[in-house]
Each structure stands twice: as C-alpha cells, then as structure tokens.
Amino acid sequence: MSDFVNSGWGIFVAVATTISVVWCLVLLVIASRRKVMAGDNTTGHVWDVDLREMNNPLPRWWMWLFVITVVFAAVYLAFYPGLGSNAGTLGWTSLNQYEAEQAKARAAMEPVYARYTSMKAEELMHDPQAMAIGSRLFLNTCAPCHGSDARGSKGFPNLTDQDWLGAGTPEYIEKTITEGRIGMMPPMAAAVGTPEDVKNVANYVLSLSGSAHNNIAAELGKAKFVVCAACHGPDGKGNPTIGAPNLTDKIWLHGWGEQAVIDMVTKGKTNVMPPQGRLLTPQQIHVLAAYVWGLSQGTKVAGN
C-alpha cells in the first residue's frame, strides 16, 4: 500500500477521471446523432420473423438527465477533491471535516468534564456519571485490545487484577494512556548460554511461581538467572520502574509453560501500547484513567 503514496497515482487518478467524464460526453454526442439505417427506421435486424430493432432517438428526459449528471460531475470536481491531488477550490478534506466535528463534540462535552478535572480517581470511581462516561470511553478506545471486560488476552494485559507492569497508580495509567508505552524483552539466549542453559533457566523461572517444572533443570538454571536478574531482580519479583514483570506470580502475559518461556528468552518480545493523547482530550483521559484504575481495586465501580 505504500506505493499509493507516490504522487504519480494522483496524476493517474486525475487523468482517468477526466477521460471518463469526457468519454461520457462523447457517448452522448454519438448517441444523439441518429442515422436512418433502413427505409423503415430500423437497424435492419430482424428476429423471430417479425421482431425488428427500431432506430428511435434517445428519450429527451434521459438525454437531459445524462447531461445534468455530467455537468454535476464537472462542477463537483471543480469544488471538491477528485482529480488526483487537486484539493478543489473549496479546500475541503475529510480530515478537516472530521477534526471540525471532533472539536464541536469536545466543546459540547467540555462543561460535563469540567467538574471532573479537579476530582481525584478515588472520588471519580464512586461517581456513577463519571464512570458511565469512562466505561464508554473504554469500550470505544481500549476494548479492541483489552476486551470489553478489560480482562485482556494473550499479549494484552488484564486490567482488572493488581498485576501492573508499571506503577499501577492513576497518575501512571493516565500517563500511559496519553503517551503510550513500549515494552521490550530483548533476546537473551546468547547471554544465557547454550540451548540447554536456556531450558534450565526456563525451568528456574517456572519454579519461582510454583508452576510445574523440572526440579533438576531448575537448580541448574538458577546460576544462569543472573542474566535475567538485571531487569527482573535477583528474587524475580520484577521492576515496575522499567516495566519488568514479576516472575513469582502465576500471571503469564505471553503464554505459560516451558516452551513459552524458552521462546521468550530466545526470541524476545516487543509490545506496544499506542498513545491516545491525540484521540482523547486530557479531561477524557483523566476520567478514563480513573475508570481503569477502579477496575483493579477489588470494589465495584460505580455504574458497572
């Protein structure tokens, strides 16, 4: 699809559109020049003994409708974009219209959000109207990845538990929604050692959470875990400052089991949370962050 960014496509579209309009006019002229092809005003074609094809002129209403259509197309192309990269004399674009509609909607909602700006997340999560708004914002913005119930799926964090890759505070959630987040686990197989060493480390990692593992392999992998400890800590409890997950619980974002851990150590992983600061206003993000934070607090969020 990147090829369509080339300016040559704009020229192609402009030429194709112009030829189409002109060709319509040519067809109209050709069709209007009726010639008597036989003495009885027929084309000379006869079927089933007496079924003759007549050579009557086009109905006037059809011809004028055709003319109006072509003229309308020419006027439209003069005012609106349609000839390739030509913006038209009105300068209209779908993006401008979208942004204008967004600005209008935000202006209409500004009085509603004004009262929430100074409220803390602890207060907002007990406000039914604020949480109803937060719920709609979540469904429109976050649910495609985290699910309508916010419980996520493989590769997408569950937002209803207390297991946070970051600080897990309303302020941190608000910052993450605004700026997005990139979580990266680099491939570590070369640093760990041989494939057997990687397998041993994987079993040691599983042992930290009490998951099913090979005891002998886990003991052998303990010394090699020092490579992982730089991020996950010597006790494997993670580091919220850099987003390194806790390995001592039984929450596995990218799959559970020996092979899943081996793949993670060998191949690494990069996860991206896209920034929403351009789609949502700071006031909307403030309410949304309070809603998301409330989901993990073990209390029923107002409005849910």
Q: What is the pLDDT of residue 107?
A: 86
Q: How much is the CA Rg of the chain, to the nearest whole Å?
A: 33
Q: What is the pLDDT of residue 35?
A: 65
Q: What is the pLDDT of residue 204?
A: 94
Q: What is the pLDDT along the chain (304 residues), one digit of tens a residue?
A: 445 556 677 788 888 888 888 888 888 887 777 666 667 777 777 888 888 887 777 788 888 888 898 899 889 988 988 887 778 888 888 888 888 898 888 888 888 888 898 899 999 989 999 999 999 999 999 999 999 999 998 889 999 988 888 888 999 999 999 999 998 899 999 999 999 999 999 999 999 999 999 999 999 999 999 999 999 999 999 898 888 999 998 888 888 899 999 999 999 999 899 999 988 999 999 999 999 999 988 655 555 5
Q: What is the pLDDT of residue 1?
A: 40
Q: What is the pLDDT of residue 205?
A: 94
**CA torsion through residues 7, 89, 81, 18, sign:** negative
